[in-house]
Amino acid sequence: MFTVTRVTAPVRTQVQDGLRTMISEGILLPGDRLVERELCEQLGVSRPLVREAMRSLEAEGLLQAGVSGGLFIRTLSLEEAEEIYVARGVLEGGAAMSFVQKGTAEDLAALRSEVVKVEVALQTGDPLGMRRAKNAFYEALIQRCGNGTMAEMLRIIHGRIQLLRSITLAEPDRMPAAVAEIRAIFDAIEAGDAEEARRRSALHIANAAAAMKANWARRSGHEAETDSANQEEVGGK
């Protein structure tokens, strides 16, 4: 669980980061209603700070207002999800190119460290560890790409991607392939091949989008079958 430490960053920022972490780690799921009192207790902060953080996350598109009031973790439609992945593909491919062009030796070493952590997380078979390691890799790529505007836009997109993690990570064969793709992105960056880095990054995101759509279809089919079975059971009674 995220804990507000009241150091290194303003408390307001830490509360926002805490809520983002709760979303990215599946503690808060799409459709969940945010209860201010519970969040105050979990984060150890005042209600005004929680409200301010919630307003910020609503502006980022992570929260949505309910019909009868209150704020909920946003539930994305398939069309919205596809649009997010298209935008991510363009921007993150550009970030990979920019990293090649502007990244320093220190930046490259930091990115290499995150790739190794992703590979270790895969070997340990820890889903939460994998999610955290992948997020850290993307953050290093974005933060050190040398393009502040692109980085700012990608952070918003990655925030919304967290709303889909339970779907993309549910594909059984996706994780080993995703880790191999991340390694390929890094190898292209390390080789100084900007176009190959862009291409590898775009491929990684296209594959993630395909996995998301495949599992979305599978879940939709399962839900339809469940609804049909329930209707038959009710009718049989």
pLDDT (tens digit per residue) in 192-216? 999 999 999 999 999 999 988 988 8
Contact residues for 164 (Cβ-Cβ < 8 A; gap 6+): 76, 81, 84, 212
Burial letters 118-149, b for 16+ CB under 10 A, else e: beebbeeeeeeebbbbbbbbbebbbbbbbbee
The whole-number pLDDT of residue 237 equals 47
CATH architecture of 78-222: Up-down Bundle (1.20)
User: Would you kindly state where each structural domain of the chain is located, as residue ranges?
Assistant: 11-73, 78-222
Does domain 11-73 bear CATH number 1.10.10.10? yes
Contact residues for 42 (Cβ-Cβ < 8 A; gap 6+): 1, 22
Mean pLDDT over each residue of the chain, to the nearest integer: 87
- DSSP lists the bridge partners of residue 71 as 65
pLDDT (tens digit per residue) in 62-94? 999 998 889 999 999 999 999 999 999 999 999
pTM: 0.81
Domains 11-73 and 78-222 fall in the same CATH topology: no
